[in-house]
Amino acid sequence: MPDQINTTRQDFLDAAAPYQARIAALKKNQYSDIVDGEGNQYIDLVLEGGGTLGIALLGYIYVLEQAGLRFIGIGGTSAGAVSAIALAAAGKPSESRLDKLMDELANMPMRSFVDGRKDGDSDAINVVDAWLNKRGALAKAWLTAQVLDNLHEIQALNRGDAFKNWMDQLLRRLNGEQPMTVASLRQRMNDLPDLWVCDSALADDFPIAALCPYTVQPDGRRQLNRHADKDQLCVISADISTESKIAFPRMANLYWSDPPSVNVAEFARASMSIPGFFATYKVPSRPVDDNIRGIWREAMPNWPEESLGGQFLPKVHHFVDGGVLSNFPIDAFHNSERVPLRPTFGVKLQWDEHNHDIQNLLDVFTQSFNSARHVLDGEFINRNPDFSKLVAYIDTKEIGWLDFGMDKATKLRLFDMGLQSAMDFLEQFDWSNYKRIRRLLLQANLTPA
């Protein structure tokens, strides 16, 4: 089935039309202590990965923007990273950015991303179709045999070049046909209006003047301090060559000598490299010298000094889907040492399940993989139970996450799921209570045992 644009921005707006009164009512609620002159409230946002299920994220983001929420920090993994990067690139933080992305992300040419080991290689898409469409065992075996050369040559079904090119072109369309570099995206994400701290924020929460995140103006208003050089994007990938969880662009200096000039599409490619489906994303190692050794020592403080000796880096770094380590990086913007002025809202594309029958070897491998990718995020939430108040769930389990031929009805269904989840979440979110919980946790951590 060829890719086709079959769902438009207007289709999504029509789907949201019945909820406009309910969404409008959300504007009266408080979600953050940071506001601009237009009354918009500012938060951080983290998006879970989930293949084609990511269309549900559009519905969730739509409600947040229509409720007057704007985003400073934006993070994600895998498909969530794609949406996060696109959202970050689509405009200034003060703007409603989703309008520019609905057509692009809803009609992402997923099928064309199955690009095989070389141009014209149709074996990969044939075997994917056979497995997704539940062809007979003989047909599956025959077609799977045809891709053994792919697995041998590139250690995967597909190169991933088609995806990277698509991402680069999308970002260029959002950036005046120029490459979206780390420097240009950093400038855009920090192009904030004057932001003000609400009276509901307690001055006692920031007792140390040097660490206070705002400045009191002569008229008594509290203005949020700016950090023009701060990376507000967080994209997670896994460097399997060094067994490291990597956050881009913050850790880009580990791999590139001039991080500000790196094309942000590189990070999307690194984060979505599903093992076996896409070839690993490869970056040559920087030559080892004292400077590089110091950069890695700072980035990996738990590495023993022996691990930094000699030629301690591989010749080439191989990146795979960040979801193998952290599919939901809700900790990306967390600061446990103070009560926040804005929350980090997170959205997951399915409920966490903890009841899995293991009946065969494939189940063993599958659940070993799933356990590994969920454990870090789960441990963080267990250590920081307040985050359960910040996470919305979109129940997409009945829809396949690799549905390359997804029809219009299914896309609109996913969008509606995102709408419903966001409305339910915002209606019950209690910002004052969340800050109270954070205050209690902070006091407990400061109290000697």
Distance of CA 266 to the CA centre of its chain: 14
> What span, in angstroms and rounded, lies between the C-alpha atoms of 85 and 248?
11
Q: How do residues 148-191 score in pLDDT, each as one tens digit?
A: 677 768 888 889 999 999 999 999 999 999 999 999 999 999 99
Beta strands (DSSP E) in 333-411 are 344-348, 391-393
- Tokens representing 226? 């700016």
Distance CA 83, CA 96 (A): 15
Amino acid occupying residue 414: L
Residue 290 has pLDDT above 70, yes or no: yes
Task: Tell how strand 281-284 and strand 34-35 pair up.
Answer: unpaired
Going by the DSSP 8-state scheme, the letter that residue 41 receives in this structure is E
**pLDDT confidence band for 85 (50 / 70 / 90):** very high
Give pLDDT, residue 1.
Answer: 42
Is the full-model pTM beyond 0.85? Answer: yes
What is the three-class DSSP state of 138?
helix
**For the chain, percent of residues with pLDDT exceeding 70:** 86
Query: What's the pLDDT at 81?
Result: 94
**Residue range 298-314: average pLDDT?**
95
Residue 138 pLDDT exceeds 80: no
Q: Is the peptide bond before 249 cis (omega within 30 degrees of 0)?
A: yes
For residue 433, what is the enclosing H or E element? helix 431-446
Mean pLDDT calculated for residue range 72-87: 95
Express each pLDDT in 339-371 by its tens digit.
999 999 999 997 566 566 777 766 676 666 666
DSSP 8-state symbol, 199: T
* CA-based max dimension of the chain: 78
State both tokens at 175: 């950036």
Q: Which two tokens stand for residue 412?
A: 């609109």
Show me where the domains of the chain are located. Answer: 9-108+176-230+325-446, 112-162+238-257+278-321
Closest C-alpha to 322, from 336, 308, 332: 332
- Quote the CA–CA distance of 235 and 81 in Å, as a whole number: 6
User: DSSP characters for 254-317?
Assistant: GT-S-GGGSBTHHHHHHHT--BTTBPPEEEEPPPPSHHHHHHHHHH-TTS-GGGGSSS-S-SEE
Stretch 110-118: mean pLDDT: 84
Higher pLDDT, 108 or 342: 342
Confidence band of 2 (pLDDT split at 50, 70, 90): very low
Whether 374 has a pLDDT exceeding 70, the answer reads no
Distance, CA of 372 to CA of 375 (rounded, Å): 6
The winner for highest mean pLDDT among 32-41, 74-83, 433-442 is 32-41
The torsion angle over the Cα atoms of residues 326, 328, 332 and 336, rounded to 10 degrees, is -100
Please check whether residue 377 is in contact with residue 370, taking contact to mean a CB–CB distance below 8 angstroms: no
Q: So what's the pLDDT on residue 436?
A: 95
Q: Which residue has the tokens 């074996």?
A: 123
Within 13 Å of residue 224, how many CA atoms lie on the same side as its CB?
25
Supply φ then ψ for residue 371, to 5 degrees.
Answer: -60, -45
Looking at residue 145, its pLDDT comes to: 65
Q: What is the pLDDT at residue 51?
A: 79
- The whole-chain average pLDDT of the chain stands at 89
For residue 398, the Cα-to-chain-centroid distance in whole angstroms is: 22
Q: Is the pLDDT of residue 218 over 90?
A: yes
The pLDDT of 125-151, averaged and rounded, is 65
Q: pLDDT tens digits for 380-437?
A: 667 777 888 999 999 998 888 777 778 899 999 999 999 999 999 999 999 999 999 9
Q: Residues 315-344: pLDDT tens digits?
A: 999 999 988 888 888 888 988 888 999 999
